[in-house]
Structure 1
Amino acid sequence: MAQRFHPQDGCNQCTPRRGFLTGLLAAGAAAVLPSCATSSKDAPLPSVAKRSLVDVHHHVWAPAFLKELETRKLAEPPARNWSLNKTLDDMAQAGVTYSITSPTTPAASFGDAATMRAMARVSNEYGAQLARDYPSQFGFFATLPMLDVDGALAEIAYSVDVLKANGIAMLTSYDGKWLGDKAFAPIMDEINRRKLVVYTHPSNPKCCGNLQEGVPGSTIEFATDTTRTITSLLFSGTATRCKDIKFIFSHAGGTMPFLVERLTMLPKLNANFGKILPSDQVLPTLRSFYYDTAQASHPGALLSLLNLVDVSQVVFGTDFPYRTSLDHVKGLMAMGFSMNDLTAIESRNAQRLLGRA
């Protein structure tokens, strides 16, 4: 059974849990949490400048990849305004000493097969070059042309064996297919054979674009698409079959922690799903995954996630340049973690996951 997070642990002056949650809803996290920012058994938290964090969710754009996005009118302002100097400055301000880079949506999922292969390759070559130029500061997750299975398998081999990628980066869905879809089974099986880390980033699903005028997909659909792909992995049998893949889900698992009871009920409501993953195996499977803090370093997301999984399954992510690293450091420091748990989230869990411990 996973250990549950209690913000008041080790802090004798903190409100009891029921009162804490009531107060949180009534007064907001800023008024409730900072007073318990350290455990009475721990030394004071180090200043931001002295921290040493590992960021698993940090975006960069290869020049050739960005040029193709701009040509197709797919480049967002953060991509057009990004630079390596901005990345390095952001890391330094927050005490991030190592970032695993990846592009974000649409990744290598547009154009014909040749274009997708080319975009994956230039992105991976760029990530690898950053890692060679700054070996103590950067690693990278390799991007795949997921809609081209042969191309994806070739890119896994090249990126892992030649470029020495830290793992694989995937979107949560491609052309209306989530990661448990049978079309992706050969890719998942190869990644499982190699026992790789798979970091996932949400995308705008094919089903749900422009549902509300003026509301971008990142506001609602990203978090929901993460839940869709987790559900797909569970009830396609992929998560059970590919137990050696170490999945990271962005943004504290999207809406999954809020919908977890519905997921545990699904095998009881649908006998076919129950044959694939019995109800009593849903929670253990979810607790075996990792979840990052990108745009989720606040009580609304973390209290729900940490009531489901152990602190050991949470890794630090920033979503730079869509948010700053400092935003997330401050958010985590305000949560009331003990020094041991804070260090686990900020660096130790990722180091263990990536084999850098």
Structure 2
Amino acid sequence: MKMPRKLTIANLPTNIEHLKRLSSELGNVAIYLKRDDQTGTEVSGNKIRKLEFAIAEAIDNGYDTLITCGAVQSNHARATAAAAAKIGLKCHLILRGSSEDVFEGNYFLDGLFGASIDIVDSEEFKNIDKLLKAKQDELESKGRKGYVLPIGASNGIGGFGYFYAMNEILEQEKTLGIHFDAIVTTVGSAGTFAGLLYANTLVKNDAVVYGINISADREYFAGETKKIIAEMNEYTGENISLSYDEISIIDGYAGRGYGLSTKEEIDFIKYIASLEGVALDPVYTGKAFYGLYNEIKKGNLSNHKNILFIHTGGIFGWKAEQRDIIKNF
């Protein structure tokens, strides 16, 4: 099978930890955590796995600038800015926000890493594809060559980051003497989920790969997953195709919506932090792990004995609104 070239930026392989106290509380299930929040300090989280493939493609095709987008506290935007600085490329970010956003967290780090930043409001951001193309054209008029990455680097080339991660997990199973019969990840733009699912299908691993969406709904992300898998086929020459019924996305845990938290979610994040010494983030892993916890409590995953949850990072994305909920306990 043909595989695209990748760079080596992330600290890999990431560790797998057994959450012993949580597993004991839940009963007849063992919960493990894949620590992809520890892929690096500046580039921490799942995005850098995707960027290792996408940036290699950019370099191989002579691009000198990475152009991407996201919310003002986007982990992907921050990882792209950091990776560009490490590799020696320029970076331009188009972020959804306003002049009232506090210059903190990922937004601050974007600037620290030297990225050029355009802030646009939610209405303008609806036309993000046009904005990205316009920025690419502007750079071209100045003699530069801009490589456009979608939100989350969630496309065919980005999907190989988690194709690679699945193979890493299978090797770690041998070392640990454990077989994970379920692998669970957040679905925020579908690239991580699609990459895991693609590899799991290709190698005929008998684990079920579950995604828990933290925005939109199952139908939307099933469609995005199918699209990314089709794009990955263009690189590999394979013909992986899954029906909607073969795409296991657990809906119902988006809460108030993307980047918005409920007190129950924040309470749960604090509970896990105090129980296991693990910090989840309120945008992605907090919602998804809260969903996993509740699905186990409901008995909906009772056929699984060893469950691996992918911690995709996000520690820099805590905003004042969410911090205040904890402060006011």
TM-score (norm: length of structure 2)? 0.30
TM-score (norm: length of structure 1)? 0.29
Q: Which structure has the larger Rg over C-alpha atoms? A: 1
